[in-house]
Amino acid sequence: MLTARDDEVDKIVGLSVGADDYVTKPFSPRELVARVQAMLRRARTGSVESTTALPHGQQALVIGKLVVDGDSRQVHLAGEPVALTRIEFDLLLCLAARPQLVLSRRQLVELVWDTTWTGDEHLVDVHIGRIRKKLGDEATRPTFIHTIRGIGYRMGTGR
């Protein structure tokens, strides 16, 4: 994240909502390049592609009117494409690949980000909220993603 906001609270919020780094203006272009290069060197060991993707050639996951295709990384709801970010898709795939299994925030962080990620686990809530909005899934009456209070989330049946 590159910003002019340099308050500690702004930095904490930026990092907790998904920024991998936080650089404030004014900044040195050389420092920025060095930070980018350092990020590129980091392996994303917990990538969903390696831990929860469907076996190659397996049919897409179908939950009611929701179709999650791990091979093509596409999501369709009632035949219409749903545009998701990489993180949103990976979270949805994690849940869809394990229907009816409750996954904690920590488990989702380890599966989607990696096991060494140390940020605020409530970041998962933010992304789940965005997925729900894109799917038209209300948190109070969910069709797809159910909140299990105090524990985490599980994928419903899609009814």
Q: Mind listing the pLDDT tens digit for each residue in 38-79?
A: 776 664 444 444 344 444 555 688 888 999 998 888 999 999
What would the pLDDT profile of 20-34 be if each residue is shown by its tens digit? 788 888 888 888 888
Residues of the chain with CATH 1.10.10.10: 48-155
Helices 123-135, 86-96: axis angle to 10 degrees equals 80
* Of the listed ranges 89-103, 109-123, 138-152, the one predicted with least confidence: 109-123
What residues does 23 pair with on adjacent strands? 2
Percent of all residues in the chain with a pLDDT value above 70, rounded to a whole number: 82
Cut 0.85: pTM above it: no
Widest Cα–Cα separation across the chain: 53
> Sign (positive/negative) of CA torsion 15, 97, 45, 90?
negative
Closest CA to 121 of 5, 7, 17, 20: 17
**100 with 151: CB under 8 angstroms?**
no
Beta-sheet strands, E only, within the chain: 2-3, 23-24, 61-63, 66-69, 74-77, 80-82, 103-104, 145-148, 152-155
Domain 48-155 has CATH 3.40.50.10300: no
Least confidently predicted of 1-15, 38-52, 114-128 = 38-52
